[in-house]
Homo-oligomer: A and B are copies of this chain.
C-alpha cells in the first residue's frame, strides 16, 4: 500500500525490484532511498508519504479492501499478459502493485468471463441502445461487464449490467473513494453494492490524464476482449483497443451510420484492421469466447516446466477439466492452477470451453481465428 501510493501507477522498475528482493525489502529501500538510479525519480515526490495504516482504515470504513498479488482473490491469470508486455515499449504497462477494491465480489471470479465495453463519452441514443442490447444478452449468459464509469457508453454498459443483475466492474483512474465523474457518484455506489469498483491508485488520488491511459490497460487486462460501441475520431477507446491488441485479446467495434461523428472512430478501427466489426452479442461471443487454438506437432510437453508441466500432465487427452478438479488432482493451489492454464493457453497447448479446460488438438488443423493485428495490411 505504501509503495502503491509512492509510485501512483505502474512502475516497471519498482516491480523488478520487488521481484528481486521481495516487497518488504523493496519498501525499506524506497523509504531509505537506497535505490538504483532508475527508481529515484519515480519515488522522489512521495516516498515520505507513508500512510498505509490510514489507507487501510479508510478502505475498511467504506467496505473496501486491498488486493495484493499474494491474495487468493488476485486475478493472476488476467495479469499474466500485463507482466509479459515489453516494458520498454509500454511505459504505462506492467502489473499493478496492488488493486484497491470496493464491492462484494471476488475480483478473481468476477473477471473469469468478462467483456470490456467502452466508448464515446458523447454517445448517441443509437450507441446507448446497442450497448444496452449487447450487455443484456451477455449478462443473461453470465458475462461480467468491465468498463471505466465515464459518461456515455461506459455508464450505459454499467447501467445495463446493473439492470440485468450481472456483475460489473468499474476500473477508475483515481482512488476508489472518489466519485469520478462526480455526476456518477450514485452509479459508482450502486456498482460497489453489487459489483466491483477497482483502482490501482490509493484512496484520495485524483484522476489525471496519463492515469486514464494506464487505467485502460486494466480494463483490457481484466476482460476476455474489448468492445467499442461508439467512438469519436480521437476517442480514448482506441487506447483501450491498443492495450487489448498488445495483450492478444480481441478488439471489437460496432458500426453505425457514416453520418454519425460518434461512429467515426469505430469505422476507422475496423478499416485499419485494429478492431473486428461486430453487430450483435452472438458475434461478440464468437470472437471473445474461449480460444480454440492449435497445439504443436512435436510433443507439446517438451519444454514445459514447474506447475505448467504438472497441470498439463493432469489434463486428460480428450476430456475437459475444471480448475478446481485440477487443483485437487495436482495438489497445487487454485490460483497457481489458473496461472498455469493461462500460460499453457498462451502457448496454445490448452483451451477452455463451457465444459472446462482441455488440451488443444494438433497444430496442423487449420485455425479459423482471426487476428485483427495482422488484418488487411500486406
Contacts and interface: CB of A to CB of B under 8 A. Distances in A.
Please indicate which of the listed interface residues A234, A238, A377 has the most CB atoms of chain B within 10 Å of its own CB. A377
Contact of A376 (B210, B257, B370): B370
Contacts of A378: 367-371, 374
B267 A258 contact: no
Interface in A84-114: 87-89, 91
A335 interface: yes
Interface stretch (A156-164, A174-182, A220-228, A341-349): A341-349
Contacts of A213: 342, 345
A295 interface: no
A339 interface: yes
A350 to B, nearest CB: 12
Nearest to A279: B258
Contacts of A347: 234
Contacts of A371: 376, 378
Nearest to A268: B279
A44 interface: no
Most chain B CB neighbours (cut-off 10 Å) among A255, A338, A354, A375: A255
A61 interface: no
Interface in A324-378: 335, 338-339, 342-343, 345-347, 352-354, 367-372, 374-378
A327 to B, nearest CB: 14
A130 B300 CA distance: 35
B255 A338 contact: no
Given A353-B89, A367-B378, A267 B255 contact: yes
A280 interface: yes
Nearest to A129: B259
A180 B287 CA distance: 43
Interface of A: 87-89, 91, 126, 129-130, 208-210, 213, 234, 236, 238-239, 254-259, 263-264, 267, 270-271, 273, 276-280, 283, 335, 338-339, 342-343, 345-347, 352-354, 367-372, 374-378
27 contacts: A89-B353, A91-B354, A130-B259, A208-B335, A209-B335, A209-B339, A210-B338, A210-B342, A234-B343, A234-B347, A238-B346, A255-B255, A255-B258, A255-B263, A256-B256, A256-B257, A256-B258, A271-B278, A277-B277, A367-B378, A368-B377, A370-B376, A370-B377, A371-B376, A371-B378, A374-B378, A375-B375
List the 7 closest pairs (A to B, CB-CB), nearest first. Answer: A255-B255, A258-B279, A88-B354, A370-B376, A375-B376, A209-B339, A271-B277
